[in-house]
Structure formats: structure tokens, C-alpha cells
Homo-oligomer: A and B are copies of this chain.
Amino acid sequence: MKTHLDCIPCFIKQALFAARAAVDDEKKIREVLDRIGMLISDIPLHHSPPETSRKIYRAVVEVTGIHDPFESLKAESIRAALALYPGLKERVVASEEPLETAARLAIAGNVIDFGANPDFELEQDIQAILESQPVVNHYHAFKEKLGTTQEILYIGDNAGETVFDKILIEVMSKPVVYVVREKPIINDATMQDAVRSGLDKVARIISSGWDGPGVSLKSCSESFLNHYRRADLIISKGQGNYETLSAEQRPIFYLLKAKCPVIARSLGVKQGDTVIKYALGETAV
């Protein structure tokens, strides 16, 4: 997916949020905005939003000197999600269709996002998503595909959401390779966040080799690409992964909440809608 002009004010807003998460010094935060302003004319619209987002966040890190502005927010998200885990797991297991409930719960976890969705209210948002239906719902295709799959490539998104992913992985009961970002970027899950979420107990965790908030294949490691090319079922969580993979011809299930109007338009849904979308490139279901 290309960068849309609407993404530009959003990049500035996200940079401001990240700068505030990094430091408490208004002058420094102002300096971040000034720097990002200068970057605008260098944004290539033919690149995906995560490729630009990566540059924006790197500028925030450079100006503030803070390597991981979201470190404590990520740890807090994981703690909050782990506290919810027992009750949610119970709810999934007791539901009529545990696999579907777990998939929807994994989407609900996607509300934990200090990039596109910093105003989330975890418990209320989970409840709302579990009570509504995904607007695009390829759950049956997902269940069918899962039946014949040997190994799942699961591309994670945010820290905290990882705990919800763990529940889905437990319910799927298949070998899973779980993909994290190479370095801290926004509140995206890194190896450390995945381990803190207990994903190492249920999956093999690998890095994409890229430090942007998505999986820009031209920048990912060969090791990740080997997994990606041979996978017969890929789960892609969240907007950033969708933005970098949407043109791909691979058997990908996108589990996400459309948090911004650009993504909503791209998916043909309304902002705020959730989707379980199967897309095999041009031959999308």
C-alpha cells in the first residue's frame, strides 16, 4: 500500500505522541516537530506508510536521545494484557466456537496501539469487538485452511496484543513461527516483548530483520523471507503489516481493526470496523 496524503498529518501527530512518550521537555518536543516538518518534502508517496513511519520514529529517537520511547508503555500493556489472560482464555474455551472467538479476541488485542490509536480503552474496546461481527469475515476460509496447514507464519504487531495472539496460537494447536520487529519501533513487539508475553512457550519467535512497523519485504532478512516464501498460511496482524503486504500474492489472513480512514478505504470498510480478511493476492476471496 502506498502512502496517502492523509498519512502526512498523521505522521506528525504520531511523532508528537512519541516525542511526549520519550521526554518531558517542551523545547525538545518542539525540536522533534521542526525536524519532522523538514522531512515532509522527502516522504516518497510510493513507499508504504511503515517505511516512512520508520524514518519519522528514527528522527524522534535521534532528537530526544531516547532509544525506545515506548518501553514502559509496552511493559505496562503486556502486564495489563497478562492480567486479563486467564479470564479471556476461559471465555474462549467456554465459547461455542473457540477458534473464532480466539481470532476475534486477537483482533481486539490490536486496539493496543500507541501509533494510530493512542486513545484506546482496553477492556471496553475488547468487549465492543467481541460483541460485534467482523465486517469482512473470512473465518470459515481460515478454519478450512488451518485444517490442512503444517506450520503457520504469524506476523505480530503490538506489545500487549501479543498476549491475545498467544491465546489464538494455543487454540489453533499447530506449530507457529511468530514474527517480531528487529528493533523497538513505536509500541510494536520485539523479541523481548514476545518473550515477556509468554509467546516463547507456544511458538518459535523470529525477527523480521526489519526495524519498521510492518514487514517491508525488500528490507527483511533472508531468514525471515525463507519462512515467508514457504508458509502455506500466514496470519498478518494489524495495519502496519497489512500496509506492507497488501499487494502480495501469498495466502495471508489479515486480522485487524481499521483504525484510520485510509486503511478503511483500502479495505472497503468503515473506520473502526474489524476484519478477518483472506487475500491470496489478486485472487482474494
Chain A: residues with CB nearer than 8 A to chain B? 5-6, 8-10, 12-13, 16, 26, 29-30, 33-34, 36-41, 45
Contact = CB atoms under 8 A, between A and B. Distances in A.
* Residue from A9, A10, A13, A45 whose CB has the most chain B CB atoms within 10 Å: A9
Nearest to A29: B5
B29 A34 contact: no
A41 B45 contact: no
Contact of A40 (B13, B29, B34, B45): B34
A120 to B, nearest CB: 16
A16 B37 CA distance: 14
A39 B12 CA distance: 13
The 8 closest A-B pairs by CB, nearest first: A37-B40, A34-B41, A9-B13, A9-B12, A37-B37, A8-B33, A12-B12, A9-B9
Task: Quickly give the copy total for this chain.
Answer: 2
A33 B104 CA distance: 38
23 contacts: A5-B16, A5-B29, A5-B30, A5-B33, A6-B16, A8-B16, A8-B33, A9-B9, A9-B10, A9-B12, A9-B13, A9-B16, A12-B12, A30-B45, A33-B40, A34-B40, A34-B41, A37-B37, A37-B38, A37-B39, A37-B41, A38-B38, A38-B40
Given A5-B29, A37-B38, 13 more contacts: A5-B16, A5-B30, A8-B12, A8-B16, A9-B13, A34-B41, A36-B37, A36-B40, A37-B37, A37-B39, A37-B41, A38-B40, A38-B41
A9 B34 CA distance: 11
A124 B90 CA distance: 42
A146 to B, nearest CB: 40
A156 to B, nearest CB: 28
B26 A5 contact: yes
A155 B8 CA distance: 34
A12 B34 CA distance: 13
A86 B38 CA distance: 51
A35 to B, nearest CB: 8
